[in-house]
Amino acid sequence: MNRLSSSPRLRAAICLAALLCGAAVALAADTYSLAGGAGAPPAELPAALRDAVSANGIEVKGAGGVLCDLWFRKEVPLAASPATDLGVTFGQISEGTLLGLMRVATDTRDFRNQKVKAGLYTLRYAWAPVDGNHQGIAPQRDFALLSPVSEDPDPAGISRDEALKRSAKTTGTKHPSVWSLWPGDDLASAPALHYQDDSDTWLLTFRITLAGGKQLSMGMIVAGHAPES
């Protein structure tokens, strides 16, 4: 046997190289980017939903093709009285308010690492409850709830409880499908996608238009999940 091949130092180097190679392949497989745009909302949407969202969407692509398309609301209604609860970033929006639509192109996982099947969904605003089961899942309590369009065909605001109930249809469990919302980039004029290496997540940042025309910067985790999920 070649004495060099049996050297502990050489064996360690070979193992390290193999690990690094594997890590590089995994990173490449989990890399996402923004495409040229998703175009118009799908024609099969209920007319009320289709009319409520922008004519141009945002498309997120992965190594295997399109991950999802998003169309945000033309104008998001404001809450009658802005909330100032601890941990809430977007208190000017009421829970249960429609934020937009999402087309999941291929089966994926939400922020809670629950399976989400390909399909058309609404996105409604909600807060994570303040209890021991939800502590530490994100720096803020703001989330979007994903619900099947078939269960949520009207853009009108609904109660928090109803939004949770409809979103549970996405997962087929008692828990809704949650997508973490973050403060956006106030300096950015166009949507952008950022990899957050501290949490191994991909944050899509964008602007939504509030009632009255004011722009609000927002971000949403579109790939990756909470560490304890």
Report which residue type is found at 201: T
Tens-digit pLDDT profile for residues 111-169: 999 999 999 999 999 999 876 554 556 689 999 999 999 999 999 999 999 999 999 99
> Any idea which residue has 């809430």 for tokens?
88
Residue 202 has pLDDT above 90, yes or no: yes
How far is residue 43 from each of residues 38, 39, 46, measured CA to CA in Å? 13, 11, 8
pTM: 0.84
Which residue reads 């829970």 in tokens? 95
Q: Residue 138 and residue 164: Cα distance in Å, rounded?
A: 18
25-71, pLDDT tens digit by residue?
333 347 999 987 889 999 999 999 999 999 999 999 998 899 999 99
Q: Minimal CA–CA distance to 221: which of 198, 196, 185, 187?
A: 196
Residue in this structure with the two tokens 């238009």, named with its chain if needed: 209
Q: Are 68 and 60 in contact (CB under 8 A)?
A: yes
The mean pLDDT value of the chain amounts to 87
Per DSSP, the chain holds a count of helices (H) and strands (E) of 3, 12
Q: Report the alpha-carbon distance of residue 148 to residue 96 in Å, rounded.
A: 14
Enter the tokens of residue 98: 């429609």
Q: Which residue has the tokens 């180097």?
A: 13
Tens of pLDDT, residues 168-189: 999 999 999 999 999 999 888 8
Residue 35's pLDDT is 85
Distance (Å) of CA 169 to CA 17, 111, 141 = 45, 16, 22
Position 90 scores a pLDDT of 97
pLDDT at 22 over 50: no
The pLDDT tens digits for 82-109 are 999 999 999 999 999 999 999 999 999 9
Direct distance between the N- and C-terminal alpha carbons of the chain, in angstroms, rounded to an integer: 48
pLDDT score for 155: 98
Which pLDDT score, from 0 to 100, does residue 229 have? Answer: 60
Q: Could you give the CA distance from residue 88 to residue 137 in angstroms, rounded to a whole number?
A: 14
Residue 67: φ, ψ to 5°: -90, -50
Residue 59 phi, psi (nearest 5): -115, 130
20 pLDDT more than 60: no
User: Residue 189's pLDDT is what?
Assistant: 86
- At 168, the amino acid letter reads A
* Residue pointed to by tokens 């605001």: 157
Cα 124 to its chain centre, rounded Å, is 12
